[in-house]
Amino acid sequence: MGRIVTLLTDFGTVDGFVGAMKGVVLSRAPEAQVVDLTPEIDSHDLRAGAWALCEASRTFPAGTIHVAVVDPGVGTQRRPILIQHDKQLFVGPDNGVLCLAAPAGPAWHLDNPKWFCEEVSSTFHGRDIFASVAGHLASGVPPTACGTPISDRIRLEQSRASRRGDTIIGEVIHVDRFGNLITNIARTDLVQAPGWAVTLGDLSVGEIRGTFGDVARGEWVAYVGSSGYVEIAVREERADARLAALGTKKPMVTLCRN
C-alpha cells in the first residue's frame, strides 16, 4: 500500500470537484490511499479550514500528504505552496490555511509546472495544481523537486489569551458541531494550579472540571478539551444556542484563580 493523501476543501461534494481531485491523485499514484478529511468547510472560511486541518492532521503517520484547498484567491497571484512539518507534507494555497497544522518547517513555492495537470485552469487549482502535485509526491517525487524554497509564507492572525497574575482573558475561537465553545486559552496557560473559575461574558460557568459528566444535564461546564484548549459547553445541549438566547455575542472568557 502506498502513501496516504488526505483532502480538505470547501468544495462540498455535489459538483464532483473533490472526486476530480481524487482521480488526479490516483492517476499519478495508483497505490495511494485517498482519505477524506472534509469537503464541508464553509466557503472561503480560511480560519475554519486551518482549524480542522490542524485537528485532523496531527494524528496521521509520517509520510502523509495533506491537501487543503480553501482558496478565495484562486486565479490571483497568491502562491501555491508545500510545507514539510513533523514528517508530514502539506499542500495548498499560501493564504494561511496551512499555518496552524504546519506552523514551522521548510516550505516551497510550487512553481515547477512539470507536476501540474497538462492544462491548468484559472479557477480549479485544487485539481490542476494541488492534487496533481500531491499525486506526484505520493508517487515518490521529492518536495525539493516541486519548487523554490521560500521563507515568507502567510500566516493567519491569531488572537492569544493574555494573562496578568491570577487572571487570564481569552475568547471563543471555534464552535464545534455539538455547539461547544472552544477558547484560545491553552492547557499550558493554566500551569498546574487548580481552582480556575471561568466566566463567559457575564455568565459564571464555575470551576474547570474534568469532563461533561461532572455536571448535571443542561448545566454549563468548562473543561480542557481534546485539542488542548479550555472549552465551555452545556451537557447534552448546545452551548452556542444557549449563549445566543442570552443575547451575548463574542463574549470575553475570563479565568480567575480563587
Number of residues near its own copies (by CB under 8 A)? 75
DSSP β-ladder status, 196-200 and 4-9:
unpaired
Q: Does 87 bind its own copies (CB under 8 A)?
A: no
Q: Does 17 bind its own copies (CB under 8 A)?
A: yes
Q: Position of cell 512553481? A: 111
Question: Considering only residues 89-148, where is the footprint of its own copies by CB under 8 A?
Answer: 121-124, 127-128
Are 44 and 70 in contact, with CB atoms under 8 Å apart? yes
Rounded Cα gap, residues 33 and 5, in angstroms = 6
Residue with smaller CB distance to its own copies, 227 or 252: 227
Question: Considering only residues 199-258, where is the footprint of its own copies by CB under 8 A?
Answer: 210-214, 223-226, 231, 236
Residue 231's Cβ-side half-sphere holds a number of Cα atoms within 13 Å equal to 23
> Coil, strand, or helix at residue 38?
strand
Beta carbon of residue 83, minimum distance to its own copies (angstroms, whole number): 17
| H helical segments located in 79-210 | 125, 132-138
Residue with smaller CB distance to its own copies, 66 or 199: 66
Question: Considering only residues 42-81, where is the footprint of its own copies by CB under 8 A?
Answer: 42-44, 48, 51-61, 64, 72-77
Among 149, 178, 195, 218, binds its own copies (CB under 8 A): 178
Give, for 109, the enclosing helix (H) or strand (E): strand 107-109
Beta carbon of residue 124, minimum distance to its own copies (angstroms, whole number): 3
Beta carbon of residue 217, minimum distance to its own copies (angstroms, whole number): 9
Helices then strands (H, E): number in the chain? Answer: 5, 15
Q: Does 1 bind its own copies (CB under 8 A)?
A: yes
Residue with smaller CB distance to its own copies, 144 or 211: 211
Residue with smaller CB distance to its own copies, 163 or 242: 242
Among 41, 107, 198, 239, binds its own copies (CB under 8 A): 41
Q: Does 176 bind its own copies (CB under 8 A)?
A: yes
Beta carbon of residue 36, minimum distance to its own copies (angstroms, whole number): 7
Stretch that binds its own copies, among 22-30, 106-114, 191-199, 244-252 (CB under 8 A): 22-30
Residue by residue, DSSP assigns 48-101 as HHHHHHHHHHTTSPTT-EEEEE--TTTTSSPPEEEEEETTEEEEEESSSTTTTT
Beta carbon of residue 214, minimum distance to its own copies (angstroms, whole number): 8
Q: For residue 100, what are the CA distances in angstroms to 32, 38, 50, 81, 188?
A: 25, 16, 6, 15, 17
